[in-house]
């Protein structure tokens, strides 16, 4: 089995910096933004993007976490998935532009679950999607608004995102194929 690293620490920082600028440009500034990470690795990515948006926009942007576990349509295949806490910033999401942040966009099912979860929490003015990696293979008509890296991969390959907050290092690698 081969493993090849496609993004290193500096690449991830550069991608998140670009995504943050794109979010600010798209929203015409930081006003009305709420950034929600999807556990597990979407949460530290949301925190990093939120810090950049705050730095570049000059205004603190609310950041939270949105657990989608119980909204997934594949729980029967992954019954051991443990829920993470949902943390909605004070002020909620009603009328806000919510930016969902995830590490890898693959089938689109996590994002569909996130949209269902948001519906139970409030009514945002708009929902945008930021993904560090878009690897294709969508099963649902969902696409990211902000992408760190488009990474075409075979369906049987695995994209591994490692973040210093969880794994002690920043990298993205593809695992699979012949050795």
In the structure, what pLDDT confidence band is assigned to residue 84 with cuts at 50, 70 and 90?
confident
Angle of the 9-27 helix axis to the 42-57 helix axis, nearest 10: 60
User: For the chain, what percent of residues have pLDDT higher than 90?
Assistant: 84
In the structure, what pLDDT confidence band is assigned to residue 70 with cuts at 50, 70 and 90?
confident
**What backbone phi and psi angles, to 5 degrees, belong to 48?**
-65, -45
Q: Is the pLDDT of residue 45 over 90?
A: yes
Q: Is the pLDDT of residue 80 over 70?
A: no
Model pTM?
0.93
Tens digits of per-residue pLDDT, 114-148? 999 999 999 999 999 999 999 988 999 999 999 99
User: How confident is the model at residue 73, as a pLDDT?
Assistant: 75
CATH T-level assignment (fold) for domain 3-73+84-175: Rossmann fold (3.40.50)
């Amino acid at each position: 089995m081969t493993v090849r690293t496609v993004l290193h620490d500096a690449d991830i920082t550069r991608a998140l910096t670009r995504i943050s600028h794109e979010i600010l440009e798209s929203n015409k500034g930081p006003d009305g933004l709420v950034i929600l990470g999807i556990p597990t690795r979407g949460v530290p990515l949301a925190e990093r993007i939120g810090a950049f948006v705050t730095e570049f926009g000059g205004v603190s942007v609310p950041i939270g976490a949105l657990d989608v576990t119980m909204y997934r349509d594949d729980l029967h295949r992954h019954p051991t998935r443990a829920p993470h806490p949902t943390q909605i910033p004070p002020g909620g999401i009603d009328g806000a532009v919510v930016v969902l942040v995830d590490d890898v966009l693959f089938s689109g099912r996590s994002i569909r679950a996130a949209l269902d979860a948001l519906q139970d929490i409030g009514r945002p003015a708009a929902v945008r999607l930021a993904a560090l990696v878009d690897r294709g293979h969508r099963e649902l008509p969902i696409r990211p608004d902000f992408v760190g890296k488009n990474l075409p991969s075979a369906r049987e390959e695995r994209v591994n995102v490692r973040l210093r907050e969880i794994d002690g290092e920043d990298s993205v690698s593809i695992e699979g194929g012949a050795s």
